[in-house]
Amino acid sequence: MIMEYSPVSPQAEPAERAAEAALRPSSLVEFEGQPRVREQLGLVLAAARHRGAVPDHVLLSGPPGLGKTTLAMIIAAEMGVPLHITSGPAIQHAGDLAAILSGLVAGEVLFLDEIHRMSRPAEEMLYLAMEDFRVDVVVGKGPGATAIPIDIPPFTLVGATTRAGLLPGPLRDRFGFTAQLDYYEVEDLAEIAKRSAVKLGFDLDDESARVVASRSRGTPRIVNRLLRRVRDYAQVNNGGRVTEELSVAALELYEVDELGLDRLDRGVLEAICLKFGGGPVGLSTLAISVGEETETVEEVAEPFLVRQGFLMRTPRGRVATAAGWAHLGLNPPQGAGEGLFP
């Protein structure tokens, strides 16, 4: 089954990457939100420039769409060096990593996205490269194999992961600075929306920016995507002029409600409440009831519903909370949720 495109998915669609790149901030000063990470990272980079050295390796962790790739680009820009981008799934053999590392120039930044998905042999090679700036290339096989050490210039590795718990301890320990990115406040997202509107060439007032920000699930990628949809709606229906009322109408057209729930989120919540009496209901049964794959329900809809406090995962299955019932304008039946935990 092909999953229907969701305007509030935190994952970047291939077709929107170019538009997304045009809206990225290019410096820490422009980077809205994450004040603690911004201050800490700024200190790391400023100290490295003062010493005339390369910055420590940086690990960025957090949910998708929060700015890990943007921060990697900013690190390279702040240090005035090129950025090389690759990903963990693209490095299946140690030789793949050796080829990338041996092609770096002193001081350059290597961005390794989804670092937790890198192969084990490449991971073990990366330990030595990060610590001693050297890789050992094995020539030959069996008893006659020989390891040839190759020195590589000092570089900064920026690793990004959505699942920091999957990184082995020895790899995590080799990063000099680790930043955990959190979901953004509505005020920060509204500022991002206004800055992006300037780059897109239209005016966005405070009220309209807040409408878009409040429905963006705390994620800059989503706020920029919804902003482009509001712009399109305004161009077709109001001569390009964006107002608060128009922003609400545009997002209602795309079935994004005032809290950021889309069609799938509401479908899951309604199925639990209306078809299964509030739960508990198993994941596979729930997925069938909304006509989606189990992975789609588990990875796309559930995390946000749980974060909003509308849904609970229990030993017996998924259960709607009182807040979930209230969001649908319904009253939970008497005794709902009793006896769910041993």
Question: Kind of pairing, strands 58-61 and 177-180?
Answer: parallel
Strand pairing class (311-314; 58-61): unpaired
161 is catalytic: no
List the catalytic residue out of 24, 68, 174, 210.
Answer: 68
- Of the candidates 56, 113, 262, 265, the residue annotated as catalytic is 113
Q: Is 140 exposed, middle or buried (0-12, 13-18, 19+ CB in 10 A)?
A: exposed
Q: What is the dihedral of CA 302, 304, 310, 313, to 10 degrees?
A: 40
Cis peptide before 10 (omega within 30 of 0): no
- Per the annotation, the verdict on 68 as an active-site residue is yes
Calpha distance 249→49 (Å, rounded)? 49
Residue type, 205: D
3-state secondary structure of 302: helix
Q: Is 21 helix (H, G, I), strand (E, B) or coil?
A: helix
Nearest to 283 by CA among 261, 305, 310, 313: 313
Give the relative orientation of helices 94-102 and 120-132 as an angle to the nearest 10 degrees: 30
70, 156, 162, 219: which one is catalytic?
Answer: 162
Residue among 215, 221, 225, 266 flagged as catalytic:
221
Q: Confirm if 57 and 157 have CB atoms less than 8 A apart.
A: yes
Catalytic pick among 69, 156, 219, 296: 69
Q: Looking at the chain, how many residues does it have? A: 342
Report yes or no: 79 and 27 within 8 Å, Cβ to Cβ.
no
Q: Is 113 a catalytic residue?
A: yes
Strands 317-320 and 134-139: unpaired
Handedness of CA 98, 100, 103, 104 (dihedral sign): negative
Instruction: Write out the catalytic residue numbers.
Output: 68-69, 113, 162, 221
